[in-house]
Structure 1
Amino acid sequence: MNKTFKIYAVIFIIIMVILALFEVNKKEVTDWRKNFDVNQKSPFGLFVFNKEAKDLFKNNLTKIDVAPYDYYTDKNKKPHNILILESEIDPESWNKILDEVSKGSDAMIIANRLPKNISDTIGFYGSKISYENENVLKLTDKKYQNDFIKLDKFPSGRGFSYIKPNVQILGKTVEENNEDQANFIKAPFGKGKIYVHCEPLFLTNYYLLQSGNVKYAQSVFSYLSDRETLWFVESNTKESSSLLRFILSNPALKYAWWVFLGGLVLFIFFNVKRKQRIVPIIEPLKNTSADFVKSIGNLYLQEGDFHDMMAKKAQYFLNKVRLDLLIDTQNLDEEFAKRLQLKTGKSAEMVNEAIVLIKKAQDPYASVMKEDLARINSLLDEILK
């Protein structure tokens, strides 16, 4: 382990310790977002309702984790109750729900707002919004006059602006500085009924955990018949089971994850910067001349033309003598032999034998054998050494 790596490791450990101290001393922040998620324990999640729903519906509740359109396709069910709680429903699924209600089922929709074509079908238009910080939800039926819930944290203040004559008001929002406005209605539809409540906050963790508020929820659901109830929770219950989602959903693990990624990026950056780039291997150029000579030699051997090869060898020798030894090669006489012997230092017998073979190679009518080619090749190479 080199010195530079040790320095980076110490710096990284110090950063981790500092971040851990910040995490320990950090004050937990309450998440007040209205998520309406059955798995969330935040104030406006539905974790408590999800746990208590079986008792509220007398163990006759079934949670469905697919869209109503997919559930009801190719399925013929007897009349039942349908519960939609702040879920996003596609138009085809809404049509399936209305079709089931028209056959005798009852639907209870608890949501801040509905698509306009659905609200028009049920029998109300638009919604009024109040910006009061507090209000009270009450039921209009005299037997439920003592069942109410006070909303003191971020009430939506929604109410129905116009209701058709055949729609019955079951609940209202009471505010100190505004007139009462309807927030819970019942509308007949075919053989069934549709209940709409526009303030789903009364089912969140924050309000259900307050003393006495469960009674209001029980009273709202008491309007449904005592039969099977299907709760479509598709948009809230489908969660990714990936490890990364689990890490990011936990604040401490998410913090550690980002620190780990940051440290990894820094390590790679500094480590790569110190590394020498790979030196490419360059293959040396091949001596193609030698290969060419070998190819030509093999060609001559295959043809068996020893006379031509002997003549070329003699011509090459005489050319080297002219250039390197500066001896005139026009006449291969005694004078030529004497000068070649002096400059090469070879014996007179070797030089004279070489001259005889050269003259034989230059004679186009001479008979040349393989042994003559081998002898002239060795003699001329020996003289030029």
Structure 2
Amino acid sequence: MKKTFKIYAVIFIVVMLILALLEVNKKETVSWRKNFDVNEKSPFGLFVFNNEAKDLFKNNLKKTEEAPYDYYSQRKKEAHNIVVIQNELDKESWKKILDQVSDGSDALILSNKVPKDVSDSIGYYDSDISFAEQNVLKLTDKQYQNDFIQLDKFPSGKGFSYIKPKVEVLGKTVEKNNSDQANFIKTKFGKGNIYIHCEPLFLTNYYLLKPGNQKYAQDVFSYLQDRETIWFVKKNTKMSRFFMRFVLSNPALKYAWWVFLGGLVLFIFFNTKRKQRIVPVLEPLRNTSLDFVKSIGNLYLQEGDFHDMMAKKGQYFLNKIRMDLLIDTQHLDADFANKLQLKTGKPMEMISEAIALIKKGQDPYANVMKEDLIRMNKLLDEIMG
């Protein structure tokens, strides 16, 4: 076993031990999210109500995760009760519910998320009526005067800001510093009745487990007739069938599982990186043209033929003048010098001296020195620079 692998193994074991100690000593946090999930045991889930619902409805309750639109499109029902608890439904489903109520069914809606077009057709407007941290829910019927529930954890503060005259108020929100506001109403709709309660929080685990609060919930549902009741529950309450559901549902096991997978990925990454083959170094291709030019230059220097080198340098310069500046180089006279001076912007003295040296290189009988070649090369580079 390699030394580096042993080091990684020790680091991984130490990290796992530290994480295990932190997990053991970690305090369980309580989620106060208002999920209204029938399988949730958190404070604002409906686990308790879901277990007590059969007795509350005398075993005449049917739960379904289908949307009301799908449910009623596939079957015809006689008059019955409809229950919806904080469930966001589509407009077509709301329309199906209203059609059932119009035919004689009763609907109990415990939600503060009823679409505005539906609430308008029923006959009320809802809004935020309170921002107090605590309030009390009471029913208006005298036989229920002693049954109330105090909301001391995150009440929604929802209520009915406007109610049509034919709508009956069944419950209200009571506060110390504000006037009472309606939160539970009843209205006739066709042959049936619609009950709207805009504070479903009283059905959650946190409040139903407090002594005495169950009576208020029983009073609210007592307005429904003793007949079959359909409860449309939220779709996300279905139990997962994933083979890892037990591990992923337990926070400690889920945390350990992801740490294990992360460690495995790191091990594979570092292990494969160590065994990667060496990438060969590729030498760049040599510029043979540059070597050829250097060889020719050295040859001329060794021969000392400065006259021939001046002639070739002048020939190259004149060719560049023709190609780049489009100047005729057949006659190296004053006209040529003026054109070259205008296009390059160099002093006329420099241009005249360069032309003289080019002519000297072209003269086969001229006596050319090394200094002439150096001076000519410098002048031509400056002119075309």
Taking structure 1 as the reference length, the TM-score comes to: 0.70
Matches of 1:70 and 1:279 in 2, distance apart? Answer: 63
Deviation at 1:202, TM superposition (A): 0.3
Q: Which residue of 2 aligns with 1:71?
A: 71
After the TM superposition, which residues 185-334 of structure 1 pair with which residues of structure 2 at under 5 Å, given as runs? Answer: 185-244=185-244, 246-277=246-277
The one-letter amino acid of 2:27's match is: K
State how far apart, in whole Å, the 2-side matches of 1:172 and 1:6 are.
70
Shift of 1:6: 2.4
Aligned runs of 1:1-385 on 2, under 5 Å? Answer: 1-244=1-244, 246-277=246-277
SS in 1 for 2:74: coil
Q: Deviations over 1:60-116 (max 9, x none)?
A: 111012111111113111100000011111111111111100000000000122100
Question: By how many angstroms is 1:276 displaced?
Answer: 2.4
Equivalent position SS for 1:160: strand
The change in CA–CA distance for 1:209 and 1:166 in structure 2 (over 3 A counts) is same
Q: Deviations over 1:32-65 (max 9, x none)?
A: 1111111110000100001010011111111012
The alpha carbon displacement at 1:125 in A equals 1.3
Q: Could you list the per-position Cα deviations for residues 198-219 of structure 1 after superposition, in whole angstroms to 9, with x for gaps in the alignment?
A: 0011000000000000000000
1:251-289 per-position Cα deviation (integer Å, ceiling 9, x unaligned): 112211221122122112211210124999xxxxxxxxx
Equivalent residue pairs, number: 280
SS at match of 1:114: coil
CA distance in 1, matches of 2:18, 2:31: 25
Backbone CA RMSD of aligned residues: 1.7
Note the alpha carbon deviations across 1:109-157, whole angstroms, 9 max, x for none: 0012210011011110132331101000000000000110000111111
In structure 2, distance between residues paired with 1:157 and 1:54: 30
1:152-207 superposed Cα distances (whole Å, 9 cap, x missing partner) = 11111110000001110000000111111000000111000000000011000000
Q: Distance in 1 between matches of 2:199 and 2:53?
A: 18
> Which protein shows a greater Rg?
1
| 1:245 shift after superposition | 5.0
Residues in 2 aligned to 1:74 and 1:40: alpha-carbon distance in whole angstroms: 30
Q: How far apart are 1:246 and its partner, in Å?
A: 4.5
Return the offset for 1:239. Answer: 4.2
Partners of 2:246 and 2:190 in 1: CA distance = 46
> How many Å separate the matches in 2 of 1:40 and 1:46?
6
AA aligned to 1:18 is I
Q: Aligned in 2, Cα 1:147/1:236: closer, same or farther, shift over 3 Å?
A: farther
> 1:13 is matched by which residue type in structure 2?
I
Which runs of no fewer than 5 residues in structure 1 stay unpaired? 281-385
For 1:90 and 1:16, the matched residues in 2 are separated by 48
SS of 2:184 mapped into structure 1 = strand
CA contact (8 A) 2:39 2:237 kept: yes
CA distance in 1, matches of 2:74, 2:269: 58
- Between the aligned partners of 2:193 and 2:105, the Cα distance in structure 1 is 7
Q: Letter of the aligned partner of 2:149 in structure 1?
A: I
Distance in 1 of aligned mates of 2:236 and 2:66: 11
Once residues 20 and 180 of structure 2 are traced to their aligned partners in structure 1, the CA distance between those partners, rounded to angstroms, is 52
Amino acid paired to 2:252: A
Unaligned stretches of 5+ in structure 2?
A: 281-385
* Runs of 4+ displaced beyond 6 Å: none
The 3-state SS of whatever aligns with 2:98 is helix
Contact 1:87 1:236 in 2 (8 A): no
Percent identity between the aligned chains?
Answer: 74
- Worse-superposed segment, 86-95 or 120-129: 120-129
Aligned to 1:338: none
